[in-house]
Amino acid sequence: MAFVLLAEPAAPVAGVLRRYLEGAGHEVAWVASVDEALRAARERPPSVLLASGTGALDGEALCRGARAQGLTAPVLLMYPPDEEHADERALQSGADGSLVGPLKRATVLTCVSLLVQREEARRAPQAAPTPVTPAPVEPQAPRAPQAPVGATSADFEFLKRLMFMEVKRSRRYRYPIALLMVELDRFQERASSLAPAARKGALAETLGLLVAGVRDIDVAVPFADSRFVVFLPHTPRSGARVVAERLREKLKGVTTLPVGTASVGVSVSEPPAGKGAGPGAPVQQISFGGMLKDAGDALRRAQAAGGDWVEVASDASRNQDG
């Protein structure tokens, strides 16, 4: 589990957050001021720095100070419910993510888990962009705490915030990212004879196969019923297609459903190279919603073509790339 440095001036709030984190097995050190946080981070760099964004403890100033002293660990800033520009403020201060209250247990734990995973990707940006097929293993439990399958799950809500900031960084630092929308073909028909518990088990097995089929640095979360989203950092178009094809084949092995297939829609952001592509270049505006829409549209085209297919957004036709 992770070592979390918690910077929060209010003892009652800190107590609740500490219970959340320690209950999930994380080690937590609590400090109540910016100076204490900077000193603690120097003495022992945390896996994640979780800090109040504004108020009695200025988390944005803390983040800037931590970056100035060389701290590279992910920083997650917490904002009150009335803050309308949390993502932009966190990004400008150098943080890696933002949380807007009220802070729920599942959301906090998911945020910490996903940021730890993404830090692994940053430590190995030179790794081969096409993920290596893992050796056959038993499906494992998802890496992040799981909420009920649905578009409002804590996993998906934080994935939106993670993607918002990751897309901007990919534009600024010129590395590709990909988003897959995966759905079991004719799921309602295939699952019509299953009891609710068995249906839920089939979806859990599907998610387990997706998690087992990607790298540890990738993120797979439920989206809606039989649909899932897979986020692939540092992955170009060619690598994303390879992963999508592998997952499509892998989902033919769902044992708790009648034999069937799956379709995948792929959306890729590949920043252009060339003059002005350095870290100081202007950040192009691109949204998580845009990538999600492109992947969803590609998925619908794959299903309209008969299913059991991978469609990449902006592909001219079904026959492109083979």
**The CATH number of the domain where 178 resides is what?**
3.30.70.270
Q: Is 37 exposed, middle or buried (0-12, 13-18, 19+ CB in 10 A)?
A: buried
Helix, strand, coil in percent for the chain, rounding step 5: 40, 15, 40
Helical ranges in 51-104 per DSSP H: 59-68, 86-93
Which contacts (CB < 8 Å, 24+ apart) does range 236-239 have? 236/129, 236/176, 236/178, 236/268, 236/270, 237/176, 237/178, 237/266, 237/268, 237/270, 237/312, 238/129, 238/130, 239/129, 239/130, 239/131, 239/178
Mean pLDDT by 10 residues, the chain (322 residues): 91 92 93 95 93 90 93 90 82 84 80 72 46 36 33 56 68 82 94 91 91 83 86 90 96 93 93 54 56 92 95 60 38
259 in any annotated domain: yes
319 in any annotated domain: no
Give the E-state strand segments of 26-176 in sequence order.
27-31, 48-52, 75-79, 97-100
Instruction: Examine the domain organization and report whether 98 and 186 are in the same domain.
Output: no
- The pLDDT of residue 151 is 38
129 in any annotated domain: no
Q: Looking at the whole model, is its pTM more than 0.85?
A: no
- The pLDDT of residue 33 is 94
- The pLDDT of residue 153 is 53
Tokens read off for 30 = 């609590």
Beta strands 3-7; 48-52: pairing state: parallel
180 in any annotated domain: yes
CA 55 to chain centre: 28
Of 61, 81, 103, the residue that ends a domain is 103
Total structural domains within the chain: 2
DSSP 95: -
Domain with 59 in it: what CATH number?
3.40.50.2300
Instruction: Examine the domain organization and report whether 190 and 304 are in the same domain.
Output: yes
Of 103, 120, 143, the residue that ends a domain is 103
Instruction: Examine the domain organization and report whether 200 and 307 are in the same domain.
Output: yes
147 in any annotated domain: no
Instruction: Examine the domain organization and report whether 163 and 72 are in the same domain.
Output: no
- The pLDDT of residue 317 is 37
- Asked if 103 and 78 count as a contact pair (C-beta separation under 8 A), the reply is yes
Of 103, 127, 146, the residue that ends a domain is 103
**What DSSP line would sit under 150-166, residue for residue?**
STT-HHHHHHHHHHHHH
139 in any annotated domain: no
Task: Give, for 178, the enclosing helix (H) or strand (E).
Answer: strand 177-184
Instruction: Examine the domain organization and report whether 158 and 98 are in the same domain.
Output: no
Domain hosting residue 21, numbered range: 3-103
Instruction: Examine the domain organization and report whether 182 and 261 are in the same domain.
Output: yes
119 in any annotated domain: no
91 in any annotated domain: yes
Using left for φ > 0, alpha for ψ between -120 and 50, and beta otherwise, residue 75 falls in beta
